[in-house]
Every structure is written in structure tokens, then in C-alpha cells.
């Protein structure tokens, strides 16, 4: 049985045509020799095109590698850091404004996110107030995840307390044993543990001051 190649026009045995499920007769319309010649030609064209593309888009390719290729990032670490720093400096005001808008809007719709921000700020300020720099992550100092603390904190609500009152600023995160008792940085870490934190009405917290109320 023979078949005519649509490329060279020569009749050849069907064995000279590759199998194909998508073509009638189960074979490609072009013979193996014509298909091989086409692939060889396309290979040269594709190589030439790729080389030209890499030259024309050198900066874009480098940027892509810098973001996604671990090996490239490791080999060009200093260069990438310098580029990131320059970009940050050039766009600092815009980036900070965008971050502020995002944080403000998310706090309005996500009570857990707002709570996380408040806890982080509380812990950071606790160290600063006592004259120390925070050297660990807030969650590590807290002794549990923010999600766990969120549930723990809610379990300590007294009658009348709810997250709406927290959002209004009417309820503070209070240190049961006051920060004023801290003598060392280790004391501050201990006093910021979740077991030493409780919800307290703002007016009561202000009245309490640095005293421990039992």
C-alpha cells in the first residue's frame, strides 16, 4: 500500500509516514523525510529567533530570572539587593502610601488582622518603653499564634465586652503584671507572654497605671 506525500508529491509506502491519530488513515500527510527536513529547518529558524529575542529582551529576562530563578539570585545576590534598594528609595513615598491604604482598609473588614497589628504594636512599644530592642518575632514572644491568642483573648471578655468595643478603642490589651515591674529584657519578654495579657476597659486601664490590680 502506498501514499502520496503532500509535501514532495512522491508516492511512498505507508511505512514512510509517521502514525497520527488526528489524520485520516492514521498517518501524517507528509512523509518522514519531509517532516525531518522541516524540523531541521525550523530548528535553525527557532534558534536564530531565540537568540535575537534574548538580545532584544535582555533586561526583561534578567528581571524574570532575578525574581524566579534561585540559582541566578544566589549568583547575583549583591546586584539584586542593590537594584531592590534603589527601587525602594525611588518609590518609597508611593509604596508607603499604598501600604498604609491597604492596612487601613483591611483593618475595617478584618478584625483578626486589626488585632494582629495591635498586638504587634503593643509588644514593640513594650520593649521600646523599657529601653530595649525587640529581637524576636512577636508571635514567638507571645508564646502562641495570633489566631490562638485571638480566641484566648475573647475567652477573657467580661460582660459587655465584644469586638465592636475593641474596634472602638474602648477595650485595651492590658499587662496583668505591669511593665513597670520589668528589670531586664528577659522580664519584658515574660511580661508580654499571652498568659500575662487580658482585655481591660480603657478607663480601668488608665486608672490602673503601673499598679498591679488583684
Distance CA 173, CA 188 (A): 15
DSSP reduced 3-state for 188: helix
**Domains present along the chain, CATH in parentheses:** 2-56 (3.30.60), 111-208 (no CATH)
pLDDT digits (tens, 9 = 90+) for 163-175: 999 989 999 999 9
- Contact predicate 182/191, CB 8 Å: yes
pTM score: 0.58
Provide the pLDDT for residue 172.
Answer: 95
Distance CA 168, CA 178 (A): 23
- Segment 59-84 shows an average pLDDT of 83
CB atoms under 10 Å from CB of 38, counted, come to 12
Residue 94 C-alpha cell reads as 508611593
pLDDT digits (tens, 9 = 90+) for 46-57: 988 999 999 999
Q: Print burial letters for 160-194: b (CB count within 10 Å at least 16), e (below 16).
A: ebebeebeeeebbbbbeebbeebeeeeebbebbeb
Amino acid at each position: 500500500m502506498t501514499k502520496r506525500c503532500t509535501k514532495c508529491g512522491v508516492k511512498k509506502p505507508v511505512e514512510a509516514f509517521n502514525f497520527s491519530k488526528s489524520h485520516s488513515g492514521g498517518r501524517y500527510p507528509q512523509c518522514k523525510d519531509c517532516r525531518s527536513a522541516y524540523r531541521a529547518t525550523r530548528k535553525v529558524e527557532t534558534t536564530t529567533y531565540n537568540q535575537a529575542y534574548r538580545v532584544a529582551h535582555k533586561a526583561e529576562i534578567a528581571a524574570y530570572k532575578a525574581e524566579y530563578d534561585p540559582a541566578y539570585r544566589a549568583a547575583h545576590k549583591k546586584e539584586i539587593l542593590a537594584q531592590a534598594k534603589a527601587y525602594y528609595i525611588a518609590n518609597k513615598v508611593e509604596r508607603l502610601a499604598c501600604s498604609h491604604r491597604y492596612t487601613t482598609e483591611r483593618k475595617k473588614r478584618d478584625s483578626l488582622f486589626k488585632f494582629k497589628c495591635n498586638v504587634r504594636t503593643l509588644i514593640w512599644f513594650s520593649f521600646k518603653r523599657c529601653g530595649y530592642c525587640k529581637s524576636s518575632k512577636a508571635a514567638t514572644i507571645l508564646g502562641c499564634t495570633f489566631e490562638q491568642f485571638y480566641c484566648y483573648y475573647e475567652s477573657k471578655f467580661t460582660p459587655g465586652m465584644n469586638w465592636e468595643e475593641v474596634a472602638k478603642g474602648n477595650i485595651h490589651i492590658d499587662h496583668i503584671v505591669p511593665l513597670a515591674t520589668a528589670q531586664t529584657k528577659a522580664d519584658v519578654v515574660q511580661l508580654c507572654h499571652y498568659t500575662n495579657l487580658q482585655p481591660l476597659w480603657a478607663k480601668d486601664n488608665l486608672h490602673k497605671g503601673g499598679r498591679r490590680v488583684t
